[in-house]
Amino acid sequence: MRLLIVGGLQGQIGAATKIAMDRGAKVTHAADIDQAMAELRNGRGADLVMADVTLDIGRLVRALAAERICTPVVACGIGTDTRRAVDAIRAGAKEYVPLPPDPELIAAVLEAVADESHQLIHEDEAMTAVLKLADQVAGSEASILITGESGTGKEVLARYVHRKSNRAERPFISVNCAAIPDNLLESELFGHEKGAFTGAVARRIGKFEEANGGTLLLDEISEMDARLQAKLLRAIQEREIDRVGGGKPVKVDIRIVATSNRDLAEAVKRGTFREDLLYRLNVVNLRLPALRERQKDILALARHFAQKYAQANGAPFRPIAPPTERLLLSYAWRGNVRELENTMHRAVLLAQGAEIMPEAIRLPDGTQVGGTSLAAQTGDLSGPVKTAVETAQAATRSLVGRTVADVERDLILDTLDHCLGNRTHAANILGISIRTLRNKLREYGDAGLQVPQPGETRLAG
């Protein structure tokens, strides 16, 4: 986690720096907006910018947008300065942190941005086998493709590979190819030269150069468009990149790890992913099993999360009661580790008494997980056929008379609720691209419907 502090933070710069460093962040300082922009352009990137509220936050946010630098900004000021706080948020700051800095608040902000618990918990043999392969290839320079359903821990595994590699002391830089629009992604990856487009007032170093000597994680690579795929292929083959608007190529020394929760071979067949790029990326394939395929991990992870969230919420630690364990083991966990993590977080908040009882295991909307059988949840028809047919009939009956657009909207919004607003996860379950999902959500938002934001559901009170 790299933090860039801009301005004097009204005399609190020392305190804020210390708190952030105690939490493991690397901190750099810039005196003003111009110096901050220079830092960010030069590849000394940051995951978060903390700016003094007395600076022109609007100007900073606009400069970042104009130069296509996707780094969130948090404004800091003395607590009573509400006028300025409101202005900063209006100007595009993600948060307002009052000064003097509160360690818990700074920690929460850092965590929200970085979500930096990279611990990899495992107990199941299926997972041990994957890690053994990861250990074997980590030290090599081979590109690695990590595949697995959404929420299985692909990013966690990518960081594990980096930690075990000879590049561990060098940067680990991750780019989410699905979250950044195509036209911005090119600059994000390859950087640009001054004058490359309106707004490019100076040279900007991209993630490839920033990760030089280290590992570059290309997250959700299947979402990259054809032109960028070609450019990426060249970067991997030639070990050099072209900045946007740049005249001559720049040498880079990078280990690439890519992730995908779509079947890339299938994408090649459909013509949406280059076959030659797939071969380059897929020198080694680490396939993460779904959580339901590693039963021992379910309990190991559940205990880990119960502990983690008790601590984070200042709640007493409660062990998981045996009937609760049976319930957790019988559930299908379609959202994998992420769903289990969210469920255990809720359970910690809902639990009363000495142990976490089955009543505390609930879906995001508050309904209790009833211990539906794995077969029913995965659509396995080997169960009682009559029930399956009846269920299907009941489902279609309630659909007849409704338009496709109507049903589609309900399905999309309900799925998004189920995923606590997580777009990537929802798109995955729905089998549509994240871009299609975003377009649909924009449509619904424009029509005045309530669209769950990341981390929330429409039903939560």
Ligand X SMILES: Nc1ncnc2c1ncn2[C@@H]1O[C@H](COP(=O)(O)OP(=O)(O)OP(=O)(O)O)[C@@H](O)[C@H]1O
Between 154 and 204, whose beta carbon lies closer to Mg ion?
154
121 touching ligand X, by CB under 6 A: yes
Residues 435-459 as b/e (b if ≥16 CB within 10 A, e otherwise) read eebeebbeebeeeeeebbeeeebbe
In terms of phi and psi (left: phi > 0; alpha: psi -120 to 50; beta: otherwise), the region of 264 is alpha
122 touching ligand X, by CB under 6 A: yes
Rounded to whole angstroms, the Cα distance separating 161 from 153 reads 12
**Could you say which residues in the range 259-298 bind ligand X, by CB under 6 A?**
261
Contacts of 403 (CB under 8 A, 6+ apart): none
Ramachandran angles phi, psi of 147, nearest 5°: -120, 160
Pairing label, strands 26-30, 48-52: unpaired
Q: Which stretch binds ligand X (CB under 6 A): 33-41, 57-65, 67-75, 150-158?
A: 150-158
Q: What is the 8-class DSSP label of residue 16?
A: H
Least Å distance, CB 334 to ligand X, is 12
Least Å distance, CB 340 to ligand X, is 8
* Structure-derived torsion over alpha carbons of residues 401, 403, 406, 410, reported in degrees to the nearest 10: 60
CB 60, CB 6: distance < 8 Å: yes
148 touching ligand X, by CB under 6 A: yes
State how far the alpha carbon of 177 is from the alpha carbons of 206, 222, 228, 371, 433, in Å.
14, 8, 10, 36, 12
Between 148 and 358, whose beta carbon lies closer to ligand X?
148
Least Å distance, CB 441 to ligand X, is 17
Between 39 and 155, whose beta carbon lies closer to Mg ion?
155
Residue 337 partner contact from Mg ion, ligand X, none using kind-dependent CB cut-offs of 5 to 8 Å? ligand X
Between 155 and 339, whose beta carbon lies closer to Mg ion?
155
Least Å distance, CB 51 to ligand X, is 28
**Could you say which residues in the range 223-262 bind ligand X, by CB under 6 A?**
261
In terms of phi and psi (left: phi > 0; alpha: psi -120 to 50; beta: otherwise), the region of 48 is beta
Q: Where are the beta strands (DSSP E) in 153-229?
A: 172-176, 215-219
Rounded to whole angstroms, the Cα distance separating 138 from 152 reads 19
**Could you say which residues in the range 152-171 bind Mg ion, by CB under 5 A?**
154-155
Q: Of 15, 92, 87, which is closest to residue 54 (Cα–Cα)? A: 87
Between 124 and 155, whose beta carbon lies closer to Mg ion?
155
Contacts of 259 (CB under 8 A, 6+ apart): 145, 146, 147, 154, 155, 158, 217, 218, 219, 220, 221
Between 73 and 301, whose beta carbon lies closer to ligand X?
301
Least Å distance, CB 458 to Mg ion, is 24
Token pair in block for residue 296: 């021992």
152 touching ligand X, by CB under 6 A: yes
Residue 150 partner contact from Mg ion, ligand X, none using kind-dependent CB cut-offs of 5 to 8 Å? ligand X
Please select the residue that binds ligand X; options are 338, 345, 418, 423, rule is CB under 6 A: 338
Q: Which stretch binds ligand X (CB under 6 A): 77-85, 186-194, 335-343, 395-403?
A: 335-343
Between 81 and 155, whose beta carbon lies closer to Mg ion?
155
Least Å distance, CB 446 to ligand X, is 26
Between 154 and 303, whose beta carbon lies closer to Mg ion?
154
209 touching Mg ion, by CB under 5 A: no
DSSP 310-347: HHHTTPPP-PBPHHHHHHHHHS--TTHHHHHHHHHHHH
Least Å distance, CB 145 to ligand X, is 13
Using alpha carbons only, give the angle 136, 116, 229 rounded to the nearest 5 degrees: 65
117 touching ligand X, by CB under 6 A: yes
Q: Which stretch binds Mg ion (CB under 5 A): 149-157, 288-296, 338-346, 396-404?
A: 149-157
Kindly list the residues in this chain that would bind ligand X in the complex (CB under 6 A): 117, 119-122, 148, 150-156, 261, 301, 337-338, 341, 424-425
Kindly list the residues in this chain that would bind Mg ion in the complex (CB under 5 A): 154-155
